[in-house]
Amino acid sequence: MKGARGAKLDWFRVFCAVLVVTIHTDPLESAFPTGNLILTRIIARIAVPFFFMVTGYFLRDALEQGCLGRTLKKLCLYTLAAMVLYLPLNLYSGDWKGLTIGAAVRDILLDGTFYHLWYFPAVIIGLLLVGGCVRLLGWKRTGIVVSLLYLIGLGGDSWYGLAVRVPGLRAFYDWLFSWMDQTRNGLFFAPMYLWLGGSLARREPDRSVCGIGLLLSGCAVFAEAMLLHQAQICRFDSMYVTLIPVSLCLFGLLSGANTGNCKPLRTFSLLVYVLHPWCIVAVRFGAKFLGLWGPLVENRVVHFLLVCVMSIIVSALATAIWTHFRPKNRQPEAIPDRAWLEIDRVALAHNAMALSDRLPQGCELMAVVKADGYGHGAVTVARTLAHTGVHAFAVATLDEGIALRRGGIRGDILILGETPPQAVKLLKQYDLIQTVVDSVHARALENTGTPIRVHLAVDTGMHRLGIPVQDVDAMERVFASSTLRVEGIFSHLCAADSREEEDLAFTRSQIDAFFHAVDALKARGVAPGKCHLQASSGILYWPGLPCGYARAGIALYGVSSSGDEPLPETLRPVLSLRARIASVRELLPGDSAGYGRDYRPETPRKIAAVTIGYADGVPRCYAQGGQVLLRGRRVPIVGRICMDQLLIDVTGIPKVWPGDTVTLIGSDGEETITAMEMARVCGTITNEILSRLHVRNR
Ligand SMILES: *Cc1c(COP(=O)(O)O)cnc(C)c1O
C-alpha cells in the first residue's frame, strides 16, 4: 500500500461509490424530499464523472499512444463477470421474458443488463472514441468532439424539455431513444470526462483557482439543477452543463494533492459500485423474512445505512480475498536498477522555502533548472517546486524550456542562453521568455517580426553576455521594439561567492552599475519590468537587493558550489547517487586489477566491481582519493574508473554480495559523502559534478 495516504484520488473514489449507493437508495426521500433531491440528483452526480476522470487521468499516455488493449480486455472481463453476477436477478425478475435478440445485444453493448451496469460499456465506448479521436485529431481538437457529444447527451437528459422545442430535435431524440435508454449510456457522457481527466494529467492545477472555481460552479450546478427540476424540463438528471466545471475544479484540487496510488482502494470502490444492488436485494429480502419491512426498508435512512454497511463489508472481504489470491506472477518482477538517483523532494521544497524566506518583499524565487535540473531531473524538480508556490523557472536552452512545457510546467520560463532567431516560432508556441544577449541579437530577433517575450541581459563586468551597462541608449532601443516585449532586465554577478577585498569591491560595483542603468532607463520613461541580479551566492551573501526575481540554482539543491563558503545549515542536500555491486573477488599479492593494471595490492585483498562509471557521470579522476559507502562504511575506489564500472576495495567487510547497494553521493547509516567531497577530490565545483550526471538505470 505504498503511498496509500497520499492517494487522494483513490480515496475519493470510495466516497463516490457511497454517493452512488445514495442514488439507488434515496435515503432522505421520506423525511426530506427536497434534501433527497439535492443529495441524490445533484451532489451525488459528481460520482460517475469522477470515475471517468480518474480513468482518463491515468490512461492519458495509453490514449495518446493508442495502446489500450490490456485495459479494454480487462474491462470486457469485468463487464462479463458483472453480467453473470446479476443474471440470477434478471431471471428472478422475469424481465427477460419477451426480450428480443436485438434488445439483448443493446443491453449488453449499451444500456447494461442491470440498472447500474451501463457504466462498463460506457467506459469501453468512451475510451475507444477518445483514443481514436486523439490519434486522428490530436488531444485538443478531440475536446470539440467530446463537447458536441456531451451537448447531444444533455439535450436527451436534463435539458430534454428545452431541446425538443427546437424544430427537428424531437424526432431526433425519439429516434435516439428507440435504440438507447438514456443518453448518459454509451457515447454521449463518458468521452467528455475521460478527456477532461486526461487533460489534467499534464497540468499543475492552481489550488486556489480550483477552490474558488469549485465554490462558484458548485452554486451554479445547484441553480441549474433546481431550475431544470422545478420547470420539469428534465427527462433524466445525470448530466448538467455546470457538472463540467464542478468536476474539473474538484478533480484539480484532488489531483494536485495526489501523491500516490492504492490499488486495493481502487478495487474496493469498484466492488462497492458493482455489488451494492445485490446488497439492496439482500437487505429487502432479509427485512421481509424477519417481518421488519417498516423499520428496515421503509425507514429510508436505516435502509441506506444497512445497504452501505453491507456493501462495504462484502466489498472489503472481496478485496482482501482478491488481493490475497491474485496470481502475483502476472506482474513482471521489478528489475533492480543498475545505478540510480534518489531525489528528496521534501528537502527540495524545504530549500525553496528557506531561500524564499531570505528574499525581501516583492522579490520572487526563480528556480534555475538548467542542465536537467542540475542533474536532478528538470521536470521532477519543477513540478515539486510548483507545488510549493514557485512560478518562475530558468533554463539554459530552448529545448530545456520546451521539455518543461511538455512536462506540464506552467508559469514563466526564462531561457538564459542565446537562441537563434530561426527559433522564434517555437519561443512563441511554447510561451518561453528569451534572453536578449546583446544589441545584435536584439536586432536579429526583431527582424523576424514575430512578437515574443524577452528579458534583457546587461553586462556589468562578467563580459559574457549582455548589453554593456554604460550603453543605456542601446537598452532603450530594445525596450522601444515593437515586436520584443521586454518584461525584465538582468545581469549576473561573477564573484559574489568570494570574500576577498578586491572581489567584494568588484561585486559592489556590478550592483551599483546595474541599478544605475535601471534608474537611467526609468528617468527616460522606460518601465524596466522585473529586475534580477543574484544567483545562489548573491542570495546568500548579498541579500536584500531591490529585485523582482532572484535566480537560485545550486543552493536550491542544497549544495555549496565550491566549498570555500559553506552553505547555511538550513539547506539540505536533495540528491543521492547509488549503484550496485556486480561481482566480488579475491586478489593475491602479485595480482593487478583494472585498466593499465593500475591497482597492484601488496597484501591479499577483496575487491568488488560496482555498476557505475564515467559515462554515468562519475569523473574518471575520482579514482585518486575517491571513496564510496557500503553498509555504512567508507571504502576506497581502486584502479582506474571505467566507462560503465568501477572497482572498490571491500576487504574486511563481511558478506559482500552482488546486488548490494553502494552509495557514491548521499548517506548510508552514519556516514555521508557529499557532492562537495566528490567535487573537491576532482578539483572542480559541485555544479559540474551534478550537471554531468547521466545515470543509465538499467
Ligand atoms: C546558472 C545560472 C544561474 C544559477 O546559478 P547558481 O550559482 O547555480 O545559483 C543564475 N543566473 C544565470 C545567468 C546562470 O547562468
Give per-residue pLDDT as tens, 280-297: 999 999 999 999 999 999
Asked whether 41 lines ligand 1 (CB < 6 A), one says: no
- Residue 464 C-alpha to ligand 1 middle, in angstroms? 13
Which pLDDT score is estimated for 102? 87
- Residue 346 C-alpha to ligand 1 middle, in angstroms? 22
Which of the following is catalytic: 273, 370, 557, 614?
A: 370
- Residue 515 C-alpha to ligand 1 middle, in angstroms? 19
Q: What is the mean pLDDT of residues 28-45?
A: 93
Say whether pLDDT at 326 is over 80.
no
Which pLDDT score is estimated for 566? 72
Which of the following is catalytic: 2, 73, 115, 595?
A: 595
Q: Closest Cα partner for 82 from 270, 286, 327?
A: 270
What string of H, E and C letters represents the secondary structure of 596-634? HHCECCCCCEEEEEECCCHHHCCCHHHHCCCEEEECCEE
Q: How far apart are CA 514 and CA 508, in angstroms?
A: 10
**Burial class of 475 by CB neighbour count within 10 A (0 to 12, 13 to 18, 19+):** buried
CA angle 190, 66, 253 (to 5 degrees): 50
Hunting for cell 542544497 — which residue is that?
558
Asked whether 368 lines ligand 1 (CB < 6 A), one says: yes
Q: Which atom of ligand 1 is nearest to the CA of 370?
A: 1
Q: Which atom of ligand 1 is nearest to the CA of 554?
A: 8
Name the 3-class secondary structure at 445. helix
Based on the residue annotation, tell me whether 92 is a catalytic residue of this protein: no
- Residue 533 C-alpha to ligand 1 middle, in angstroms? 10
Which pLDDT score is estimated for 322? 87
Q: Are strands 633-638 and 627-630 parallel, antiparallel or unpaired?
A: antiparallel
Q: Which atom of ligand 1 is nearest to the CA of 368?
A: 4
Supply the mean pLDDT for the chain: 93
Which pLDDT score is estimated for 3? 59
Asked whether 553 lines ligand 1 (CB < 6 A), one says: yes
Pocket test residue of 365, 415, 416, 560 for ligand 1, highest count of atoms within 8 A of CB: 416
Tell me the sheet residues that pair with 453.
433, 485
Q: How far apart are CA 633 and CA 662, in angstroms?
A: 10
Structure confidence by residue, pLDDT tens digits, 387-428? 888 999 999 999 999 999 998 898 999 999 999 999 999 999
DSSP H or E stretch at residue 487: strand 484-490
Contacts of 127 (CB under 8 A, 6+ apart): 55, 59, 63, 68, 71, 72, 75, 194
Q: What is the mean pLDDT of residues 225-231?
A: 94
Q: Closest Cα partner for 323 from 375, 266, 407, 276?
A: 266
User: 481 is written with which cell numbers?
Assistant: 521594439
Structure confidence by residue, pLDDT tens digits, 423-447? 999 999 999 999 999 999 999 999 9
Q: How far apart are CA 56 and CA 218, in angstroms?
A: 22
CA dihedral 589, 590, 594, 599 (to 10 degrees): 60
Q: How far apart are CA 190 and CA 52, in angstroms?
A: 6
Q: Which atom of ligand 1 is nearest to the CA of 374?
A: 8
Asked whether 551 lines ligand 1 (CB < 6 A), one says: yes
Name the 3-class secondary structure at 463. coil
Asked whether 536 lines ligand 1 (CB < 6 A), one says: yes
Structure confidence by residue, pLDDT tens digits, 601-610? 999 999 999 9
Distances (CA, A) of 231 to 39, 161, 166, 174, 546: 19, 9, 17, 21, 60
What are the phi and psi torsion angles at 584 (to 5°)? -125, 140
Q: Closest Cα partner for 75 from 127, 114, 132?
A: 127
Which stretch of 4-13, 44-53, 149-158, 343-352 has the lowest confidence by average pLDDT?
4-13
Is-contact 659 639, C-beta < 8 A?
no
Structure confidence by residue, pLDDT tens digits, 638-676? 999 999 999 999 999 999 999 999 999 999 999 999 999
pTM over 0.85: no
- Percent of the chain scored above 90 by pLDDT? 83
Based on the residue annotation, tell me whether 522 is a catalytic residue of this protein: no
Q: What is the mean pLDDT of residues 96-117?
A: 88
What string of H, E and C letters represents the secondary structure of 187-215? CCCHHHHHHHHHHHCCCCCCHHHHHHHHH
Which pLDDT score is estimated for 17? 96
Q: Please give the full DSSP string across 376-393, using - where no structure is assigned.
A: T-HHHHHHHHHHTT--EE
Which pLDDT score is estimated for 333? 67
Q: How far apart are CA 158 and CA 169, in angstroms?
A: 15
Q: Which atom of ligand 1 is nearest to the CA of 396?
A: 15
Is-contact 217 251, C-beta < 8 A?
no
Which pLDDT score is estimated for 138? 83
- Residue 628 C-alpha to ligand 1 middle, in angstroms? 29
Q: Which atom of ligand 1 is nearest to the CA of 556?
A: 9
Name the 3-class secondary structure at 685. coil
- Per-residue pLDDT band for 2 (boundaries 50, 70, 90) equals very low
Q: How far apart are CA 76 and CA 81, in angstroms?
A: 9
Pocket test residue of 455, 459, 510, 551 for ligand 1, highest count of atoms within 8 A of CB: 551
Q: Which amino acid is at 19?
A: L
- Per-residue pLDDT band for 561 (boundaries 50, 70, 90) equals confident
- Residue 522 C-alpha to ligand 1 middle, in angstroms? 26
- Residue 442 C-alpha to ligand 1 middle, in angstroms? 22
Count of C-beta atoms within a 10 Å radius of residue 207: 14
Pocket test residue of 351, 359, 366, 368 for ligand 1, highest count of atoms within 8 A of CB: 368
> DSSP character for 566?
P
Asked whether 552 lines ligand 1 (CB < 6 A), one says: yes
- Residue 250 C-alpha to ligand 1 middle, in angstroms? 38
- Residue 458 C-alpha to ligand 1 middle, in angstroms? 15
Say whether pLDDT at 263 is over 90.
no
Q: How far apart are the first and last CA of the chain?
A: 25
Q: How far apart are CA 377 and CA 35, in angstroms?
A: 51
Hunting for cell 445505512 — which residue is that?
305
Say whether pLDDT at 112 is over 80.
yes
Say whether pLDDT at 120 is over 90.
yes
Is-contact 403 379, C-beta < 8 A?
yes
Which pLDDT score is estimated for 389? 87
Say whether pLDDT at 1 is over 60.
no
Say whether pLDDT at 332 is over 80.
no
Q: How far apart are CA 213 and CA 455, in angstroms?
A: 33
Is-contact 245 222, C-beta < 8 A?
no
Asked whether 594 lines ligand 1 (CB < 6 A), one says: no
Structure confidence by residue, pLDDT tens digits, 610-626? 999 999 999 999 999 99
Which stretch of 23-37, 563-577, 581-595 has the lowest confidence by average pLDDT?
563-577
Asked whether 492 lines ligand 1 (CB < 6 A), one says: yes
Q: Which atom of ligand 1 is nearest to the CA of 536?
A: 9
User: 429 is written with which cell numbers?
Assistant: 508556441
Is-contact 665 674, C-beta < 8 A?
yes
